Amino acid sequence: MKDTLVLIPTYNEEKTIGKLLENLLSRQTSEIADIMVINDKSVDDTAKVVSSFGDKVILVNHIYNMGYGAALKTGYLYAVKNNYDYVIQLDADGQHSEDNIKALYEEIRKENAPDIVIGSRFLEGSVSFPISVLKKIAIGFFRVLIRVFTNNEILDPTSGLQALNRKTFTHYAGYMNFDPKYPDANMIIKMLLIGYKIKEIPAIMYVRVAGVSIHSGLKPILYMLLMMLSTLTVILKYKLFNLKKGRSS
């Protein structure tokens, strides 16, 4: 067992997960990390494709669909129980290049490393694909919230490509510490507010070539509204907690 776990939450990605795993294994990712797929009750052949890799890949199957955040949390709980020091998480849809793994791995292990390293689409040296106007508006909104409420500058607050140290994923594994449905900019803001250190590094991302995105159709509008509500709730809870703490002292 390695000290790093590559975590891939998956839902109906039979057309992309096999190629992703092949690329990870061909780039010797398995020499520096264990690879784990959380299959969130896919209704296609995702589980069958992952199973074909045998013991090269750890497969956990949810017995019913629980959501993206719940799939990640299953991985965090596994990482805590099995004494990993680091988790690197990426999406199963092929948008996150396997070449990002090495960069995240090296950054999170440096002396005085941050608690969270984010693979960003918006730093010099990044490679990305065009994003929608609505997505740009949402990212801009969250950037402003982060700047105003945490005094930090995070250019890609909605990136799911991240490396976490043990302190971080142990916190996420705790009861009610992680959003089981929509963990996104809301979690970044929360972690900054409670004192965790976050750093961005350039990332390589590609356009999805198969499958259906959770942000397709009208879903981005609903998602953005839910994310805004969740983020504002995080900020409000933090402010109320500090207000009560100040009064009690």
pLDDT tens-digit readout, 107-119: 999 999 999 999 9
Token representation of residue 197: 């250190």
Q: Is the pLDDT assigned to residue 13 strictly greater than 60?
A: yes
pLDDT of residue 210: 57
Amino acid at 163: A
Q: Is the pLDDT assigned to residue 142 strictly greater than 80?
A: yes
Spatial contact of 132 and 218, defined as CB atoms under 8 Å apart: no
- Residue 198: which residues within 8 A CB-CB, separation 6 or more? 114, 115, 116, 117, 118, 152, 154, 188, 191, 192
Q: For domain 4-248, is the CATH number 3.60.20.10?
A: no
Q: Is the pLDDT assigned to residue 130 strictly greater than 90?
A: no
DSSP string computed for 225-246: HHHHHHHHHHHHHHHHHHHHHH
Q: Is the pLDDT assigned to residue 212 strictly greater than 60?
A: no
Nearest CA among 60, 1, 58, 56 for reference residue 25: 56
The mean pLDDT value for 122-150 works out to: 90
The pTM score is 0.90
d(CA 91, CA 72): 10
Q: Is the pLDDT assigned to residue 215 strictly greater than 50?
A: no
Least reliable range by pLDDT among 39-43, 100-104, 180-184, 202-206: 180-184
d(CA 146, CA 155): 10
Confidence of residue 241 (pLDDT cuts 50, 70, 90): confident
pLDDT of residue 225: 81
Spatial contact of 205 and 127, defined as CB atoms under 8 Å apart: yes
Nearest CA among 25, 108, 36, 23 for reference residue 72: 36
Query: What's the Rg (C-alpha) of the chain?
Result: 18
Confidence of residue 249 (pLDDT cuts 50, 70, 90): low
Show me where the domains of the chain are located: 4-248
pLDDT of residue 247: 67
Q: Is the pLDDT assigned to residue 94 strictly greater than 70?
A: yes
Percent of the chain whose predicted confidence (pLDDT) is above 70: 92
| Element spanning 116, H or E | strand 116-120
Beta-bridged to residue 96, according to DSSP, are 205
CA dihedral 92, 95, 101, 103 (to 10 degrees): -160
